[in-house]
């Protein structure tokens, strides 16, 4: 029945193209030739899978590799420029309005890849019908109105199914049962056997995600490690997750599901972590695919499980495709569907503990291009998406309360970082396993000094024009209260920061960084002016729109949600010596100097939860003037974004705690810690440190 339905649609689609209805419009004929050609390839793959299943056979690994490469060749950089899935090419052919819609529809056809590999008949059929409906509309009335109507109906009608599918994969355990038949020890033996490496690759390919030598080399690296070392990596990751609950006084025993997010190259580590979570903590694991469609969203920064990114520019070009059809009615529909989906899974939602993330860095360098041809939000549609983000956050927090969930993040390099991958990998393992107690005690000295301050003053040097004053909360009981959290290796691995939620009124100045990567996007001379805690002006060499889209996330302004001091000088020195400082993810980069985040505070949706530092003091700086609205107007209390921007030590002239009487306690001068008791943090700057 499934095979018949797909074959029937394929015949209808091909017949429409072969009928000659587009013969008088060469570009339209070329467009549907490309789109239908890709759909036919997917139909062939579906048929191949169906036949092998009927015959109880397995597709040879070599064939699966060829299938994988063929499905992504269209969007590889060398082919993308001449494809209708590229908005620049489509708009040139059809004009702005029609071109953007046809381009977005073409991208949505590509989103059928996971449906084919996941045997999701409904998802595949809906996209084949989208081709058919688009072709019929174009043949009868090629207009933006007719195409928008088709795309709108497709999104509206299929949203309930797609939303529930996404939530189910996130909240319901089962996806990590790939190697459930192996106990932990058996899996270690299995993975270390070179004859079995193909089985791991087979599993990765069977997801339908793009797989390259990058993923294969990581997988091989992990499998070549001594079993104990690989288990220790997974255990550091799992322990961070478990400590996150303990450090925030949350009860992990009421949770039954931990979501694992990872690049498929780290499949061996993810499987081992799943075994540890189950065997030692009673937690099953779930896995959700990273965003890939107009329903799940597309982003350069992947959030879920994912393979290689064949072309980050493709994700950047299509991240705002929903802007082409969004209106008030659709926002209402999205919110209703989200609530209904959570309601169906409300039991599973309360058992969900949060994500455990293996982040990657060192992917092939990417310089983003903000294309005027790409779909984007404007003054009319931007408030609509902001409204959805705000209200969706409230709905999510209702079913997965922030005060009950936690997370952890750890990062590792990819081989594409360079020829020194092994050295970088070993350095990262070292950074991820630094002495917890040493940093805890030193950071407490920082906090003791900062808790005497009215505000923190930060100034740049050597061309860095940072000049900030960050206002701190007033401690009414300094003996039992603190402003800063002593952050060691729990939710954010590695160790190395103290942070607070600043007071907005009285927080003013300029934040400047010469060169930084944020969520995979490169910025030069990033400058943000802050007025009473909110961004007021901003610029970078790449253009303000890059900031608007990827730091402000379409908000006209964002508050400073975090002020922090990174203390991981070991990471900073290793990054400089290995020449990879620009490649580190925010997770590690934020520990390499003072940093400031714009958006929500670190305690978003957890403001009323009491937490304490290791010294027993309660952390009271958990909200600001915006998040305080959570009771009276929750929709305006959160922005659902948080981006850390770090001033590296070599660009830092001075960081001081300024007391109420105007006197100053210097903490960092010219990139070195000068506060008494913090001298060990300067040891990595010694040339012989790593050899000692």
* DSSP for 7-33, written as a single string: HHHHHHHHHHHHTTTTTT-HHHHHHHH
* Residue 163 C-beta-side C-alpha neighbours within 13 Å: 21
Helical (H) or strand (E) element with 497 = strand 497-500
pTM beyond 0.75: the answer is yes
Q: Find the range with the poorest average confidence among 38-47, 363-372, 566-575.
A: 363-372
Phi, psi of 260 (to 5 degrees): -105, 130
- pLDDT at position 415 over 50: yes
Tokens of residue 156, six digits: 């509206």
Could you tell me if residue 249 is inside a domain? Answer: no
Q: What is the DSSP string of 67-100?
A: HHHHHHGGGSHHHHTTSTTSHHHHHHHH-HHHHH
Tokens of residue 628, six digits: 């305080």
Name the domain boundary from 137, 163, 189: 163
259/289 Cα distance (integer angstroms): 11
Which position has the higher pLDDT, 18 or 617?
Answer: 617
Could you tell me if residue 269 is inside a domain? Answer: no
Could you tell me if residue 442 is inside a domain? Answer: yes
The neighbouring-strand residues paired with 538 are 528
What's the pLDDT band for 386 if we cut at 50, 70, 90? confident
Could you tell me if residue 228 is inside a domain? Answer: no
What's the pLDDT band for 584 if we cut at 50, 70, 90? confident
Q: Find the range with the poorest average confidence among 310-319, 345-354, 421-430.
A: 421-430
Which position has the higher pLDDT, 100 or 227?
Answer: 100
Tokens of residue 284, six digits: 């099953």
What's the pLDDT band for 692 if we cut at 50, 70, 90? very low
Q: Which residues contact 104 (CB under 8 A, 6 or more apart)?
A: 151, 294, 318, 321, 324, 375
- Mean predicted lDDT score pLDDT of the chain: 92
Q: For the chain, what percent of residues have pLDDT higher than 70? A: 97
What's the pLDDT band for 286 if we cut at 50, 70, 90? very high
Q: How many domains does the chain have?
A: 2
- pLDDT at position 673 over 90: yes
| CA-to-CA separations, 387 to 335, 392, 554, 555, 638, in angstroms, rounded | 10, 8, 11, 11, 11
Q: Find the range with the poorest average confidence among 250-259, 419-428, 460-469, 682-691.
A: 682-691
| Domain carrying residue 536 | 438-652
Could you tell me if residue 405 is inside a domain? Answer: no
Q: What is the DSSP pairing of strand 618-619 with strand 664-669?
A: unpaired
Query: Considering Cα of 377, then 379, then 381, then 386, what sign does the dihedral take?
Result: positive
Could you tell me if residue 8 is inside a domain? Answer: yes
The neighbouring-strand residues paired with 355 are 259
Q: Which of 6, 45, 314 is nearest to 132 (CA)?
A: 6
Q: Which residues contact 530 (CB under 8 A, 6 or more apart)?
A: 468, 507, 508, 509, 510, 511, 536, 560
678: left (phi over 0), alpha (psi -120 to 50) or beta: alpha
216/264 Cα distance (integer angstroms): 9
Query: Considering Cα of 242, then 248, then 249, then 250, what sign does the dihedral take?
Result: negative
pLDDT tens column, 595-646: 999 999 988 888 888 888 889 999 999 999 999 998 888 778 899 899 999 9
Name the domain boundary from 102, 135, 163: 163
Name the domain boundary from 163, 195, 213: 163
57/34 Cα distance (integer angstroms): 32
Q: Mean pLDDT throughout 6-23?
A: 83
Helix axes 184-192, 267-281, angle to 10 degrees: 170
Tell me what pLDDT residue 511 has.
Answer: 98
Q: Mean pLDDT throughout 418-434?
A: 91
Could you tell me if residue 509 is inside a domain? Answer: yes
Could you tell me if residue 288 is inside a domain? Answer: no
Contact 458, 654 (CB under 8 A): yes
Buried/exposed code over 399-418 (b: 16+ C-beta within 10 A; e: otherwise): bbebebbbbbbbbbbbbbbe
338/354 Cα distance (integer angstroms): 18
Contact 146, 137 (CB under 8 A): yes
Q: Find the range with the poorest average confidence among 30-44, 261-275, 472-486, 678-692.
A: 678-692
Helix (H, G, I), strand (E, B) or coil at 667: strand
What's the pLDDT band for 307 if we cut at 50, 70, 90? very high
């Amino acid at each position: 029945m499934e095979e018949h339905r797909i074959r029937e649609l394929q015949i209808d689609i091909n017949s429409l193209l072969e009928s000659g209805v587009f013969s008088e419009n060469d570009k339209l004929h070329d467009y549907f030739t490309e789109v239908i050609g890709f759909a036919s390839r997917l139909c062939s793959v579906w048929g191949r899978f169906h036949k092998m299943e009927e015959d109880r056979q397995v597709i040879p690994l070599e064939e699966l590799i060829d299938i994988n490469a063929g499905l992504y060749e269209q969007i590889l950089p060398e082919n993308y420029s001449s494809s209708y899935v590229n908005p620049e090419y489509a708009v040139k052919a059809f004009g702005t309005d029609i071109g953007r819609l046809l381009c977005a529809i073409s991208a949505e056809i590509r989103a059928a890849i996971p449906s084919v590999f996941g045997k999701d008949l409904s998802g595949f059929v809906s996209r084949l019908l989208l081709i058919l409906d688009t072709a019929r509309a174009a043949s009868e009335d090629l207009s933006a109105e007719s195409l928008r109507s088709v795309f709108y109906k497709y999104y509206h009608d299929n949203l309930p199914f797609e939303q529930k599918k996404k939530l189910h994969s996130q909240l319901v355990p089962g996806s990590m049962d790939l190697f459930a038949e192996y106990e932990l020890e058996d899996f270690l033996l299995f993975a270390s056997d070179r004859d079995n490496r193909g089985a791991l690759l087979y599993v990765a390919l069977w997801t339908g995600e793009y797989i390259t030598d990058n993923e294969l080399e990581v997988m091989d690296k992990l499998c070549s490690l001594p079993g104990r070392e690989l288990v220790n990596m997974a255990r550091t990751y799992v322990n961070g997750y478990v400590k996150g609950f303990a450090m925030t006084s949350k009860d992990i025993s009421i949770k039954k599901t931990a979501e694992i997010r990872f690049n498929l190259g780290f499949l061996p580590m993810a499987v081992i972590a799943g075994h540890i979570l189950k065997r030692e903590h009673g937690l099953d694991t779930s896995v959700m695919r990273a965003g890939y469609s107009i329903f799940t969203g597309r982003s350069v920064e992947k959030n879920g499980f994912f393979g290689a990114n064949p072309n980050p520019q493709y994700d950047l070009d299509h991240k705002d495709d929903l802007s082409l059809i969004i209106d008030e009615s659709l926002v209402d529909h999205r919110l209703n569907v989200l609530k209904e989906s959570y309601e169906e899974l409300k039991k599973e939602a309360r058992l969900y503990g949060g994500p455990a993330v293996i982040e990657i860095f060192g992917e092939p360098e990417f310089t983003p291009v903000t294309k005027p041809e790409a779909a984007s939000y404007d003054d009319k549609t931007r408030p609509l998406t902001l409204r959805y983000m705000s209200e969706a956050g409230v709905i999510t927090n209702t079913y997965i309360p922030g005060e009950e969930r936690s997370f952890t993040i750890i990062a590792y390099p990819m081989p594409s970082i360079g020829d020194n991958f092994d050295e970088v990998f070993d350095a990262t393992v070292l950074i991820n396993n630094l002495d917890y107690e040493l940093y805890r005690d030193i950071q407490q000295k920082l906090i003791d000094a900062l808790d005497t301050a009215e505000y923190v003053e930060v100034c740049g040097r050597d061309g860095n024009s940072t000049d900030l004053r960050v206002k701190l909360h007033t401690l009414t009981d300094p003996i039992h209260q603190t402003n800063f959290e002593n952050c060691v290796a729990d939710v954010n691995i590695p160790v190395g920061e103290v942070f607070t939620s600043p007071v907005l009124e009285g927080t003013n100045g300029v934040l400047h960084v010469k060169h930084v990567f944020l969520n995979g996007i490169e910025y030069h001379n990033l400058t943000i002016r802050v007025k009473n805690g909110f961004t007021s002006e901003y610029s970078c060499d790449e253009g303000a729109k890059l900031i608007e889209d990827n730091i402000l996330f379409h908000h006209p302004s964002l508050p400073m949600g975090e002020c922090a001091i990174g203390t991981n000088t070991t990471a900073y020195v290793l990054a400089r010596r290995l020449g990879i400082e620009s490649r580190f993810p925010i997770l590690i980069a934020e520990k390499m100097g003072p940093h400031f985040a714009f958006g929500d505070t670190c305690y978003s949706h957890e403001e009323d939860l009491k937490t304490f530092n290791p010294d027993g003091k309660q952390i009271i700086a958990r909200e600001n003037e915006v998040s305080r609205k959570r009771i009276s107007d929750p929709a305006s209390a959160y922005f659902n974004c948080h981006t850390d921007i770090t001033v590296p030590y070599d660009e830092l002239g001075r960081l001081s705690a300024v007391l109420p009487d105007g006197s100053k306690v210097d903490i960092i001068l010219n990139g070195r810690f000068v506060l008494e008791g913090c001298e060990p943090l300067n040891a990595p700057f010694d040339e012989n440190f790593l050899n000692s």
